[in-house]
Structure formats: structure tokens, C-alpha cells
Chains A and B, each alone.
Chain A
Amino acid sequence: MTTAQKKPTTSAMIASFADPDQRTTAAPFGHALNRLAEERPEVVGLSADLAKYTDMHVFREAHPGRFFQMGMAEQVMLGAAAGMAEVGLVPFASTYSVFATRRAYDFLCLDIAEPGLNVNVVGALPGLTTGYGPSHQATEDLAILRACPNLTIVDPCDSVDIEQAVPALADHAGPTYLRLLRGRVPTVLDEYDYRFELGRAAELRTGRDVLFVATGLMTMRALQAAARLEADHIDAAVLHVPTIKPFDTATVLRQIAGDRLVVTCENHTVVGGLSESVAAAAGFAGIATRIVAAALPDEFLAAGALPTLHDRYGLSTAALCARVKAEL
């Protein structure tokens, strides 16, 4: 950008969390689904009146006969996705995360997860990725879904993660939930020696002083924070945990052993998400490690512009750096 960016101050529903000068990829989910659909004729798409805002419109335009509009009715969308899977199709069903989890949980749980069907639920606006307020901020979706048996949960960092996760989720025989980043999505992980592997955490960066254990878009922030902390002679490692369930306990336990400051980073309430997954893994294994949780507070969040809110609730890169320096 050549002109100075005025800091956004809008609480609009659709907003970008990408930095102004960041490389991005348009609608990576929709394009990945299209590529998958070319190879697998059984792949179909559904949406609950939110195709346009979940990047499903890309699939709808390329494969109109394989897209099913279910209307603003998340319960029947997930029930119907289960019915489609029962007769041999591989559905991807998209809506906002708040509706997939809070509103339609019984259908996700009993129609999809209990029979172990290959239905892939795609939830947009996870955590704090809209400034629109609690009606659309899925700050507790991981907490709701982690307790659901059979369900695989993926929180991707960027467009690279999404592009590689989509075929992996379809290949996985059971049900999955993808926290969707939509629109112009940052492209970050192609600069690292990294490939998405379902169920596996990956060390993106080594470091002696601090270990960021991060998931979702917070991996991007952790990488930025680690780079900035170099100026303060703080050497920070980043472990990316894109699969929240099943949790890669072995890798996480191996990484948190030792005396580095462990900072978990997640775009989710501090209740029931990554930080408690790490704490539980450590506790159950008898490892006494203090964990600093960079997570959303256990409260209904304010409306506002995303940069403002990410600063306020500790998810911005600057907030992460300040947190580390305060804790060291």
C-alpha cells in the first residue's frame, strides 16, 4: 500500500483480519473444494443461505448441480447433509460457526457424529473474526465441539492450511468441523517447510526462551510476534496445532517439557479450547508446566473493528509481544 492506512473503526459483520500489506489468497476454501470436486464426483456442497459469505459460492458457480441451498435453516442443513452421506455422497456444509454449533448442535451431534458419517461442517467467522458482536462471534465453538465424540476439529492458520485441509477432511472417513477463514485469507505457511497433516502438530520455528503453542490464525500472530521479539533478544519457537481434535498430545508434551515459557495462542475463549487442551495434556501426564494463555476472555465480547478488538482482547501481535515480555 502506498497511502497511509486509516485504522478501521467499523463493527461490520464482514471484516478482514489480514494486515494491510499482507499477502492473501481469495476464497481458498471454495477453490480447494472445486479442485477436490473435479477428482471426486461424490463431493457435494450445502449452505444455509450463506454460500456467498462462506466462499461456497465459488463451488456453487462451478458445480451448480452439486450445490444444495437449504435456506436459513441450519438444523435441516446438517440433518440433510447426514442423509446425503448415508446414501454415499461426501457433503461439505457451510454456515457461520455460531449457527453450526450453538443452534444446530443436536443435529451435528446425533445425525452426523454419532453414526460417524463423512460430513464436513464448515463454520465461518470462528472466534473473534467479526466485530459484529456476540450473535456472530463463535468464541466458544471449540469448547462446544471438543466434547463431541467422533468429531475431528481443524482450526487452520491461513490459505495454505485450508487448501491442504479440504482434501484431507474429505479423505477422513468420519465427521469433521473446519473453522473457516473466508474472503481474502492471509498466505503465510508457504514460507515454511510445512504440510498440513490431519492430527499432527508442526514446529514452524525453533527457539530457546519461549514456546508459542498456537492454533488457527493465532499461529500467524505467533510467528509475527516471534520475529519481533528477536529485537529484544528473545528467542521464541512456534508449534502450530491445526488439529484441535484428535489432539497431538505426544508432540505437545515433548515440546512443553523443559523450562521455556509456554504461551498458548488461540482465537477462542480461554474456556475449553487450546489452552485447556494443553493444560489437560500436561496435567494428565504429570507435567507441572505453567501455561500462559493468550485467549479471549470468558465473557461476551464487544462490537467494534477487528484491530481494535484484537488489541483489547490480547490477540494482536503487539499484545502478544507485550504479554511475553511481561511474563518473562
Chain B
Amino acid sequence: MTSPTTVTGPAAAAGHHERIARLRAAATRIRRHALDMGEVQGQGYIGQALGVADVLAVFYARGDGELRLRPDDPHWDGRDRFLLSIGHYAIALYAALAEAGTIPVTELATYGSDDSRLPMSGMASYTPGMEISGGSLGHGLGVACGMGLGLRHRGNPARVVNLLSDGELDEGSTWEAAMACAHHGLDNVIAVVDVNGLQADGPTAGVLRTEPVTEKWRAFGWNAERVDGNDVAALVDALDRIRDHTGGPSVLICDTRVGRGVGFLETREKAHFMPVAAHEWQAAREQLEGPAR
């Protein structure tokens, strides 16, 4: 839940510190859920899920997340909408939805299986809390634009968050939508870009150069914040600043590390599909139990 920060002084600082600690713990739970799901199928976009876990924790952590949600009422009209245009990150979002309480943790064991509500690519018709069907990249921000326009038109104060990847910045439709959000002054729309520097055919820098990412968004009329996407405190501070921004859309550009939280995966050769051997899933979980980062 979002709560305006009105208390100041040492008590507030202590409260903030405790919230950061709780968010970090939530990120660790999201990573563990993702590893559990990866082990079910013996595959999955686990590298990306580990990388984006801190970002998702900041949005979804029960009681502390940025999103206004009613976990037991995923269609509540007043909810903030979180649009996952990168459908292959579904494994990470399911982990976050379990953390939020929208789907039961026990259901994660069905990930990717026949008749599961948790298919490998995120689809709205399958999963409570999955707002759109992603996968065809470059769609999420346009839909977010329409939701932002529609919510504002109806006087609904809910916000719309779209999680994109840096690879998705290759899609021209992303920039059509960026222009439209800025033109219409949609301060209820937040784009979150996971810059992990990796896409299907290799490093983003070699596939199609997207940098300078921050300057591009600013040139398109967006309020841009760029932070270490694996630094929970930095993410929280940036979202606090974004909440105060009015008159136009904001983008939170997050530099993340593929495989973050599991040392031997962080250093493994980067690949869109990161290979994990059957015996490594347990070892990965045990690394998560280490000291809080």
C-alpha cells in the first residue's frame, strides 16, 4: 500500500529502514519462488526473474509495495494496473503475485504444466492479477496509455505501471506510445524499463544499440529516473520522487544484473535462456539464504 510520507525525524528514518529490510526479504522470497518454478520445468527465464526480483518486490511486497491492490479482488476497479508486456517474465510476476497474495504459493508448483493457470508466457485470461497478455513486444505501453487516458477520463485515481525490457525499446510501437503518453500528459502512467543488457540474439549493445536510454525518454517528454535496479532503497527513493511528479508520465530505468542473488548464476555466461542443471536449483536456493544484501 502506498502511504504518504508525512512523519519526519528519527522515527520516520527508522520506519523507512525497516520497510527497506522488509522489501529486501520480499525480494528474496520472490527469487525463491522463481527458482522453485524453474525447477518444476527445468527451465524458464530464471536469469531475468532473479534480475528483476528487487523491482517486483518494491511494487508487490505485501503491505509495503508501491501498488494499491486488493490481493483477493484482482478486478477491483480502484487497483493500480501493472502491465507485463514482456510475457516471458511471467515466472517472475507469478512469484510476485504469490508474494502479494493474489495467487497461492502452493499453486506455483503447477508453473508451465498443462491446464495450469500459470503458463510460461503471461496471459490475462489465465492468471488472476495478470492484466494483459504480453509476449508480442511493444504492446504494453500503448495499452497503458489507453488505460491512463480512460482512468483519468473516469476520475479514477489508479495508476498504470508497464514493465518493459530494454530489448523492447527496439519496437517502434513503444515509442509511438511514449509520444502519446507525453502528449496527453499522463502522470498516472509509469514505465519501468529493465535494462539487463541482454536480448534474444545476445547483448543489447550488439543487437541494436538502445543507449542513451535516459536521454531518449527525456527527449520524448518523460520524467526519467535511472537507478540500480537491484538496490531496493534506490528504487524506493526514485518511486517517491516519481509520485511527486505531475503533468506527464515518468519512467523508472532500472539497471539490473541477470541472475542476481545467486553468485554462480550472476557470473555464468549471459544468455536469453540461461541453462541451469538439475542439481543446481537447490544450490541456488541455498545461496539466497545468505546474508541480506
Contact = CB atoms under 8 A, between A and B. Distances in A.
Nearest to A68: B149
Contacts of A115: 124-125, 132-133
Interface string A69-86: 011010110111111111
B142 A79 contact: yes
Interface residues of B, number: 34
Given A107-B142, A110-B133, A76 B176 contact: yes
A114 B126 CA distance: 12
Interface string B149-171: 11101101000100000000000
Interface in B8-51: none
A86 B125 contact: no
B150 A70 contact: no
A84 B142 contact: no
B214 to A, nearest CB: 22
A111 B179 contact: no
B180 interface: yes
B221 interface: no
Nearest to B172: A75
Contacts of B160: 83
Nearest to B156: A87
B144 interface: yes
B133 A83 contact: no
B139 A107 contact: yes
Given A82-B143, A83-B145, A86-B150, A76 B133 contact: no
Nearest to A73: B176
A76 B154 contact: no
B221 to A, nearest CB: 13
From B135, B147, B156, residue with most partner A Cβ within 10 Å:
B147
A213 B124 CA distance: 40
Contacts of A83: 142-150, 160
A86 B74 CA distance: 13
A70 B141 CA distance: 13
Contacts of A85: 146
B37 to A, nearest CB: 24
What is the predominant secondary structure among interface residues of chain A facing chain B? helix
A149 interface: no
Nearest to B125: A115
Nearest to A114: B133
Contact of B145 (A65, A80, A110): A80
Summarize B's interface: helix, strand, loop or mixed. Answer: helix
Place the interface of chain A in its size category: 20 to 34
B204 interface: no
Contacts of A71: 176, 179-180, 183
Contacts of B177: 76, 79-80
A10 B153 CA distance: 43
Contacts of B176: 71, 73, 75-76
A87 B188 CA distance: 14
Contacts of B142: 75-76, 78-80, 82-83, 107, 111
B139 A84 contact: no
Nearest to A110: B136
B143 A80 contact: yes
A301 interface: no
Interface string B195-217: 00000000000000000000000
Contacts of B149: 68, 80, 83-84
A71 B124 CA distance: 28
Interface in A213-252: none
A73 B179 contact: yes
B231 interface: no
Contacts of A79: 139, 141-143, 145-146, 173, 177
Given A44-B153, A83-B150, 6 more contacts: A76-B176, A80-B180, A87-B147, A89-B153, A114-B133, A115-B125
Interface of A: 44, 65-66, 68, 70-71, 73, 75-76, 78-89, 91, 106-107, 110-111, 114-115
Interface of B: 77, 81, 124-125, 131-133, 135-136, 138-139, 141-151, 153-154, 156, 160, 172-173, 176-177, 179-180, 183-184
The 3 closest A-B pairs by CB, nearest first: A83-B146, A79-B142, A80-B146
30 contacts: A71-B180, A71-B183, A73-B179, A75-B138, A76-B141, A76-B145, A76-B180, A79-B141, A80-B145, A80-B146, A80-B180, A82-B146, A83-B144, A83-B145, A83-B150, A83-B160, A84-B146, A84-B147, A86-B81, A86-B143, A86-B150, A87-B150, A87-B156, A88-B150, A91-B146, A107-B142, A107-B173, A110-B133, A111-B142, A114-B133
